[in-house]
Structure 1
Amino acid sequence: MKFRLSTPADRAVVESLWDYCFEPKEDPFFQWYFTKYYKPEQVLLGEEDGEVQCLTHLNPYTLRLRGRDVETSYVVGLATQPAARSSGAGGKLLAAALREMRQKGQYIQILMPSKAGFYQPYGYELYCHQWRETLSLDALRPLTEKNMRYKFVQSFQAWKDLKQVYDAYTKSLSGYAVRDEASWHSHIEAQLAEGNIVLCYDGEEPVGYAFYKLGDPIIYAGEFIYSSWKGKKGLLAYMYNHRSQGDVFQWNEGLQDQSYRFYPDGKKGHETIPFMTGRIVDVPHCLEAIPYAKTVRQEMVLHITDPLAEWNTGWWKLTVDNGCGKVEKTTCRQGVSMPIGSLGLLVWGAVQAKELAFYDKLRGTKEELAALQEVFPPTSCFINEWY
């Protein structure tokens, strides 16, 4: 199979596969995506005998990872023609995407899996889960906050207030997307194409916002962000006022939130959902791109295996000093052994080394595990990008 970036002439087949595998062409999001957001040069095609068999979109993003901004691509809309499925085309396309990103100087990758089990053997591990909360609108009453002001967002003009709340929410988190003016423009346009946006104010201070949809018994918020407990209660009060338009409110939020402990019935309506995978594209460049605690002084040998990117497989020496990492190939054959997916979980801080060892996802001595714990301390991960 041959791979290449698409051109404007490929638009029909790109749209056709999205229509077949995801939203139909009549869907508001489809219309917005291919009118406002789609760029042909960000789509990677796989061809056999001149026919497109598979494709994926590589949408550029900036992630804040352990406090540092890192450029990446979000693998979106990975689609395969029905006749090419079960042929290994998906794995070949993922490998080609890794090569393409490496050439661009992007050393990590994110992907939202429809079926995590398909991607995990290829080194894609879930670094971010979310809570999904589901409460009846009547049950929201004890959680509401009065005397708040609301603004129904209908244009891009409110982006600075949305950004202020988002930046406050993500301040202590890792793995999230950095949103600038252009990305806020896209988020607002996309949401208004298929739903609503409300901003919540405490006086003149924006303290919460929600992207939500009406029209069904379940009112669903795909993004529910607040800068304080008062802001969250203000948003819940706004949703409580929709009792004539729905029965249930459902929303997603980061695992760092613990307020479910104080819901009227903490046994109901609270579940964990898998959300985003992270994948290392290039081991040495990735480990040199992320920051480390300035107090850490460590040198370790890592043996990495990668089923898709042969350039990652091998023995690497990582030296950490004064907040920086240096990586080089080594002839040493003693050190920690792990697949590329486990290293990704350490880099994102989603799982600690001792936990990975418990689940047989890496092997090392007690001293080596302690060193890994120091180099890759856990973080609270969050991301809420959908495309």
Structure 2
Amino acid sequence: MIVRKLEQKEHRQTRELWEKVFAEDTKAFLDYYYFIKTRDNEIYVIEEDRKIRSMLHLNPYLVQIEDRQFPCHYIIAVATEENYRGRGYMRTLLCRALEEMYRRKEPFTFLMPAAEAIYTPYDFRFVYRQNIGETKGNDGHLQAEIKEAELFDAADMAAFFNQYFRDKYQICAVRDEAYYQTMILEQKSENGGVCLIKEADKIRGMFAYAREERLDIREPLYLPEWESEFLKAVAMFRGKEEKSAVLYACSDLFTAKKKPVIMARILHLEELLKAMKVQSGETICCSFAVIDPILVKNSRVWKIQSEKGQDSLSVAETEDSEGVLPIGALTSFLFGYKTLEEVKEEDGVILTPHLEIELGKIKQLCRIYLNEIV
């Protein structure tokens, strides 16, 4: 058994395994993925009998956390050939990748799990519930210009998001020209594209769409006064046989359910804590022990504190602990997925009254917008 990170020129060698394990993916999508995404991603593999039998891909994203930006990686295509399963290959690859990302001081990694139970043993926890809804759209004469986004539109798309939507979120992938160029190509590989709603050559709204078995719309973003034009655009895109379009990451107005879709795993805890903020008008000073059985350098007693009038955290090691937080429970709390009351019920969590008060002053990272697919 050989465990290694492939060189970029070797990345295409994993396509055969992808096609075996993820047979539902189309040739058009895989052509896109292996032409675009494997240019700058990392692929860890296990070779057995002189062939790749297991793999894990790390796709790079620049991620905004509060007012800082960090290189992070999205985990995808964790796969093992059927006859080689049950040998611990996934654990080997996952731990290798986690250790490498920790070494680079990446604050966290994230993925969209096939099943939650696969990743909880590695201390991944859900952090993001995605709004999902449906709409038929509205019939009517469009006042706006509706056009398909082309690669040269990507800079304007990034400017639109960053001007009107970026400040709504504490965590999201950095949206620049390259990000939206990749999105356009990805959507086209799934029999779709990105629709722009424009007036006087200015973007007033946009949404990604794909049509395979149905019309799926992802990230419908538009200025409030242009909602009616968005709905008319949906009606225009919807086929005569389609009763409605499914909306992903939509506004609360259209939301029928909030589905847990993204799990995260804290990597370099110190870097993550340094990026976080204190609630307005508060100062914090406390210490707690963290238990991390995989990234053992996180298993220390940490002291966090802030200065009066400042919202940033300073982080240091100490010896005196006021409580204990396993890394998985800490993830659920820091990302705002669970309250302290809920976290207290988890195995291994110990919180003194003072520690509970102090942790409550942290501004949890609950405004998350992570809708990446690959």
TM over 0.5: yes
Match of 1:276 in 2: 262
1:98 aligns to what SS in structure 2? helix
2:86 aligns to what SS in structure 1? coil
Q: Distance in 1 between matches of 2:239 and 2:7?
A: 48
1:78 aligns to what SS in structure 2? strand
Cα deviation for residue 75 of structure 1 reads 1.0
Match of 2:134 in 1: 134
2:337, 2:366 within 8 Å by CA — same for their partners in 1? yes
Match of 2:96 in 1: 96
2:108, 2:266 within 8 Å by CA — same for their partners in 1? yes
Q: Distance in 2 between matches of 1:337 and 1:344?
A: 13
Confirm whether residue 20 of structure 1 aligns to residue 15 of structure 2: no
Equivalent of residue 176 in structure 2, options 164, 173, 180: 180
Cα deviation for residue 8 of structure 1 reads 4.7
Q: Which residues in structure 2 correspond to 1:209-248 (within 5 Å)?
A: 209-214=206-211, 216=213, 218-221=214-217, 223-241=218-236, 242-244=238-240, 246-248=242-244
Match of 2:186 in 1: 190
Q: Report the residue type matching 1:199 in the other structure.
A: L
Equivalent of residue 205 in structure 2, options 194, 203, 208: 208
Q: Which residues in structure 2 correspond to 1:297-376 (within 5 Å)?
A: 297-321=283-307, 322-332=310-320, 334-358=321-345, 362-376=349-363
Cα deviation for residue 6 of structure 1 reads 0.1
Q: Distance in 1 between matches of 2:69 and 2:22?
A: 31
Q: Report the residue type matching 1:160 in the other structure.
A: A
Output the TM-score relative to the length of structure 1.
Answer: 0.85
Q: Report the residue type matching 1:357 in the other structure.
A: K
1:70, 1:289 within 8 Å by CA — same for their partners in 2? no
- CA 1:192 to 1:361, structure 2 compared with 1: closer, same or farther past 3 Å? farther
Q: Unpaired runs of 5+ in structure 2?
A: none
- Greater shift, 234-243 or 93-102, is seen at 234-243
Output the TM-score relative to the length of structure 2.
Answer: 0.88
Q: Report the residue type matching 1:97 in the other structure.
A: A
2:41, 2:60 within 8 Å by CA — same for their partners in 1? no
1:106 aligns to what SS in structure 2? coil
Query: For the aligned residues, what is the CA RMSD?
Result: 2.7
Match of 1:72 in 2: 72
Q: Distance in 1 between matches of 2:145 and 2:89?
A: 49
2:334, 2:365 within 8 Å by CA — same for their partners in 1? no
Q: Distance in 2 between matches of 1:311 and 1:348?
A: 21
Match of 1:125 in 2: 125
Q: Distance in 2 between matches of 1:307 and 1:51?
A: 31
Q: Deviations along 1:5-46, whole A, 9 cap, x unmatched?
A: 102563454111211222568521100111122137611223
1:24, 1:30 within 8 Å by CA — same for their partners in 2? no
Q: Distance in 2 between matches of 1:145 and 1:364?
A: 58
Q: Distance in 2 between matches of 1:25 and 1:16?
A: 12
Match of 1:377 in 2: 364
Equivalent of residue 161 in structure 1, options 156, 162, 176: 156
Q: Unpaired runs of 5+ in structure 1?
A: 262-269
Q: Distance in 1 between matches of 2:368 and 2:46?
A: 33
Match of 1:115 in 2: 115
Q: Distance in 2 between matches of 1:55 and 1:305?
A: 28
**Identity of aligned pairs, percent?**
20
- CA 1:253 to 1:8, structure 2 compared with 1: closer, same or farther past 3 Å? closer
2:296 aligns to what SS in structure 1? coil
Q: Distance in 2 between matches of 1:313 and 1:49?
A: 38
Q: Distance in 2 between matches of 1:375 and 1:149?
A: 43
2:56 aligns to what SS in structure 1? strand
Match of 1:266 in 2: none
Q: Deviations along 1:311-367, whole A, 9 cap, x unmatched?
A: 2223222233333333333322x3232221222233333333233225567331233
Q: Distance in 2 between matches of 1:287 and 1:28?
A: 41
- CA 1:249 to 1:10, structure 2 compared with 1: closer, same or farther past 3 Å? same
Q: Distance in 1 between matches of 2:24 and 2:242?
A: 26
Cα deviation for residue 248 of structure 1 reads 1.9
- CA 1:77 to 1:155, structure 2 compared with 1: closer, same or farther past 3 Å? same
Cα deviation for residue 374 of structure 1 reads 0.5
Q: Distance in 1 between matches of 2:337 and 2:356?
A: 16
